[in-house]
A and B are shown apart, each in its own frame.
Chain A
């Protein structure tokens, strides 16, 4: 498995501003993922971040709104840009780790409230 931390754990932001969320893992991993969980909903994949290449975004998510960096094999950031109240969600990162079959392990999440 892998131990994943996220910063900040929670934040309250004003609309129109941006927030950068950090994800740190305790071992080198190739694939990192970012998810969004809106209030009362399940998780939705935002994008996949492979070190050394541009992030791959899922349908409905664009780089201008959710820019992602992946500078090395243990770290990634997700920025939520020009926020609106609809961006209030839990944002989670995950990594793939495993021996026989890659399994995703999740961080604790960042709880974002946009006023």
Chain B
């Protein structure tokens, strides 16, 4: 399974865009990029996923480079409630299911 590399921590001012990078240089053609976040003392929350096209939903946008070796999660207007650990995961179907391998993630702190 492809590994991911993320910054250990990041800061963002409230109301500004938060851009969280992820490197997955060994990703293979059938592997998806997933983003989850974990707010303190809660279970991980699904944010978004993509294969090679950019994706957007009500929570965030996912920008994947053309060579698919890196991606960026964008929270367009960060709020204090977005303070969490963000996990970038490269996943593929494994025995009929979607296997998620969590790394250390990026601890995002949104400040006033």
Contact = CB atoms under 8 A, between A and B. Distances in A.
B104 A42 contact: yes
Contacts, number: 47
B46 A105 contact: yes
Interface stretch (B9-17, B18-26, B70-78, B92-100): B92-100
A72 interface: no
B105 A42 contact: yes
B97 A31 contact: yes
B45 A56 contact: no
Contacts of B46: 1, 103-106
Interface of A: 1, 4, 31, 42-45, 48, 56, 92, 94, 96, 101-109
B100 A102 contact: no
Q: Which of under 10, 10 to 19, 20 to 34, or 35 or more describes the interface residues of B? A: 20 to 34
A42 B97 contact: no
Interface string B25-68: 00000001010000001111110010000000000000000000
A107 B100 contact: no
Contacts of B101: 45
A103 B49 contact: yes
Interface string B69-112: 00000000000000000010000000111111111110000000
A1 B59 CA distance: 14
B103 A42 contact: yes
A94 B97 CA distance: 12
Given A101-B32, A109-B43, 10 more contacts: A42-B87, A42-B103, A43-B44, A45-B100, A56-B95, A92-B43, A92-B44, A101-B98, A103-B98, A106-B44
Nearest to A107: B43
